[in-house]
Amino acid sequence: MAENFLLPLTGSFAQPAVGNPTVAMIEAAFRHHDLDWRYINCEVAPEGLGDAVKGARAMRWRGFNCSIPHKVAVIDHLDGLGESAEIIGAVNTIVARDGKLIGENTDGKGFVKALSDVTDPEGKTVMLFGAGGAGRAVGVELALAGAAKILVVNRSRDRGEAVASLIAGRTPAKAEYHPWDQTVSVPSDVEIVVHATSQGLYPNVDQMPDIDPDSLTPDKVVADGIHNPPKTRFLKAAEANGCTIVDGLSMLVGQGVIGFKYWTGIEANPEVMRRALADLDL
Ligand code: NDP
């Protein structure tokens, strides 16, 4: 039989693209699952995004990721959106389905997947710190996964209120905004605490969100969206208090597993992906 020199392509469009570790994680999974596929990490400026998507379409890429600053702008170049991407209003994973490019959002789905290893969000009360792109995606997906109530805590009131009303208006969950102008104490009935701001992200590793550590009691599951460093100061404080913790690396791996399944139909081995990221020494 003749060799097949035509390899299925996937990749990522972002700016900057240089520090994006997704290529290492996805290509490790391709190798592990004997798929001769490629993931091409591309630097794409905002003014080039339309051409980049046209290129992916013309070359019949199987799909691609979009990261900062393209997650909202890419929607104008696609043929349709998945349910949660439509509610969130942002896309980070594009999938070629029957010749159409469909936008999905795996930021929050990856988080829920990682969280579900330790607890089921069904019926739970959640306190969500942060209402940026990550907070919005995580809040919507937790609500769609059955969380009963989500308290959205954010420094800027407008973004916080917008996420709370999005959740309350478009999902079955209850949601309300809680200001963050002083130290916030997590109420005793909150079962899941999610930190989704950028405080503590490398290189600002000494930053700590203004949350009363004594209110992080051992009955709570505490998650942090930051994957670099994998264990933030906040997560260390929660762990020291006896909380069950979920780190941002698990969220990144959860996203990778979901995107991989969208593109290839295969359930990727999360351990292989996590090891590929760990080997990078982030
Ligand atoms: P955005 O810029 O969209 O939002 C930033 C959020 O952080 C806002 O809620 C902002 O509040 C808050 N914030 C920033 N600085 C402070 C501060 N000093 N005090 C209080 N609040 C602050 O970023 P993203 O939502 O896209 O990303 C947030 C984090 O999530 C990043 O660390 C990112 O690395 C991580 N992330 C992780 C993913 C993963 O797979 N592990 C996926 C996506 C993101 P305000 O509205 O008041 O400005």
Supply φ then ψ for residue 81, to 5 degrees. Answer: -130, 145
Question: Could you tell me which of 139, 142, 145, 184 has the C-alpha nearest to residue 159?
Answer: 139
pLDDT value of position 1 = 61
Q: Distance of CA 192 to CAs 21, 118, 147, Å?
A: 28, 11, 10
Q: Ligand 1: which atom is nearest the Cα of residue 68? A: 26
pLDDT value of position 234 = 97
Looking at domain 9-105+250-278, which of 3.20.20.70, 3.30.420.40, 3.40.50.300, 3.40.50.10860 is its CATH number? 3.40.50.10860
Measuring from atom 8 of ligand 1, which residue has the nearest CA? 132
Q: Which residues contact 73 (CB under 8 A, 6 or more apart)?
A: 46, 49
- Are 9-105+250-278 and 109-246 equal in CATH topology? yes
Instruction: Provide the token pair at 203.
Output: 């290189």
Instruction: Name residues contacting ligand 1 (CB within 6 A).
Output: 107, 110, 130-135, 154-156, 159, 196-199, 201, 225-227, 248, 251-252, 255
Q: Which residues contact 41 (CB under 8 A, 6 or more apart)?
A: 11, 12, 14, 17, 20, 22, 23
Measuring from atom 1 of ligand 1, which residue has the nearest CA? 132
Per CATH, the homologous superfamily of domain 109-246 is: NAD(P)-binding Rossmann-like Domain (3.40.50.720)
Distance 132 CA to ligand 1 centre (A): 5
Does 99 count as an annotated binding residue? no
pLDDT value of position 210 = 97
Domain ranges across the chain: 9-105+250-278, 109-246
The pTM of the full predicted model, rounded to 2 decimals, is: 0.92
pLDDT value of position 2 = 72
Q: What is the DSSP string of 134-164?
A: HHHHHHHHHHHTT-SEEEEEESSHHHHHHHH
Q: Mean pLDDT by 10-residue block, N- to C-terminus, for the chain (282 residues)?
A: 87 93 95 97 98 98 95 96 93 96 96 94 98 94 97 97 97 97 98 96 93 97 93 97 96 95 96 91 66
Instruction: Say whether 71 is catalytic.
Output: yes
